[in-house]
Structure 1
Amino acid sequence: MEKLGSGDPHQIGAYRLLARLGAGGMGHVYLARSGRGRTVAVKLVREELAAQEEFRERFRQEVQAARRVGGYWTAPVLDADTEAAVPWVATGYVAGPSLQQVVGHDHGALPERTVRILAAGLAHALKDIHAAGIVHRDLKPSNVLVTIDGPRVIDFGIARALETVTDGGLTRTGALVGSPGFMAPEQVRGDRITPACDVFCLGSVLAYAATGALPFGTANSGVHALMFRIAQEEPDLDGVPEGIADLVRDCLRKDPAARPSLDRVLERTGADDTVADGRALDPWLPSALVAQLGRHAVRLLETEDPQGAGPAEGAGPSGPPAGRQGSGPGESPGPGPTP
């Protein structure tokens, strides 16, 4: 989370911006607050993408589809203006670090029980996403947020909008669609994408959570070498606890038809009866992470109200607006806080 810069807008639609959350291939993401006081994440599309009508049309379709995603395990789409000069989408803000932050920086590999409950929560999230007719296509640790209650999935469906501006697997700006270390073989080969793609990505995420390492290595030796390993070689599951190694290995089958269904994944986690209504029924995180989440919540409160007395309801600081007024923070339900 960073302070707003001189080039950042202060208002997007009905939302007053508070801080920068990040940036990615799609655009910038901001922490914001609605006139009603709801904290949200607002994603502002890059101007060069907004200028492409093909992208805009797919973005409209994907936002509309994402609004239909229900359930408890995702960050809901609350508002959007796909017709603005610079389109944007607002989602519920999930007050927790990403799995990438947790494993890569704060804690390291997670214990088996935590990974089992992570798997159950992610399988529930993917079931809800697939029920809305969406394939996530970019499930990765930075798109999984960690909360006291359980994991939350963000950014579902958005990767598909970027595919409208691709040429041979690359965007017209030269960026890969998807995240190489967490892509499925069919994405690498440019084959038809089905929900089984997300099951493969789930396997990669679980291997990372359990070991701190990517099952097909990194792109240090080159992106194409990594993509070859994903398409042709077996995953390295050294360090994955024996109790979940077979499940992870089956998720990582090269043939989409050979991967387990999400219902079967839930059964094999052995943890489905420990999660309900978006919550782990018992504490699921190591105590050190629970303490970190508490500190994260305090920082959020300080960002929202740094002086101890925020502006009057509905008021916002002066600054250049981005886009036109959206439909307002009418809270209908999908992608989220990180790009």
Structure 2
Amino acid sequence: MNTLSKKNDLIDEFDIIAKFFTPLAKDAPGTFGLLEDAAILPTIDSHQEWVVTVESIVCNVHFLPNDPFELIARKALRVTLSDLAAMGAKPYGYTLTIALNRDLSDSCYLLEKVSHGLTIDQAEFGIHLIGGDSVSTDGPITLAITAFGITNKAKALRRSAAMPGQDLWISGTIGDGALGLQVAKGILSKQYSDLAGRYRLPQPRISLGCRLSEIAAAAIDVSDGLILDASHIANQSKCRLVIDGGALPISESVSRIIADHSEMFELILTGGDDYELLFTAEPEAIQKIKQAGYELDIPITRIGRVDSGEGVDVLDHNGIKLNLLIEPGWTHF
């Protein structure tokens, strides 16, 4: 890890590593106390394979400037773990790169909060830091996490395995993240603070993803919006996904908001930040899916089907295609 700019309050580079990051790696074999330039990953069984993913979160893009910094760190880790969940992989460890603005006067305080937040989630998800980097920048605060997971060979869930005749399912509820951002920005009432919590601290469905590797066909996590992420499955599987708008699982808070602001229905379809698992499965898998949901205490809802054709259609309560979508979801470019 490299040191940050001396314009702020940071101490020596190696003291930074020892104080904030080494404790996060102390139980991870092959990290050597973060005193080497790289870590050594363990040898895994011949029937297993590695799954690797990286996510970056940037101030004013993925989080707000006044969000608690320990929650920012936890969100950065969780959205990366959600990628592993979508492929049915069990997390092993992660690296962290953090870029702090060189003019910050409280960098030590922020790094302490980062370390504390990651300590909490390492305990929850059974993983450890295995390396990383720290840099200064003239730009916004940025955290990038690379996560390593393990799955059984030929069992990784892909976006390209959906086939006509399969059912379309989703875990949890949708719309909480998108409307939670509206609460966090003060656009919606603070009485819906539970939604802001869902935006700031998503729940990666790791245990469910591992179970689905034996049940589901295609899968993706809903990060950029239900419609856009569904379209990735449709495009890569060369099929059409049909979503029953009346079957969408929404929380009580989202239901109340939609009752008062019907125009926000589109946002629950396109807003993203839910990090729920959207997946397809054969109709005969229904009992296994329900059993997994029951045992893991995770609601799982059938919301549509896979047909021949292309693209994604959303139907209303009468089975008529909705034509209200302007943008299918979030894109950076």
What TM-score comes out, normalization by structure 1 length? 0.26
Higher relative contact order (CA 8 A, sep 6+): 1
What TM-score comes out, normalization by structure 2 length? 0.27
CA radius of gyration, larger in: 2
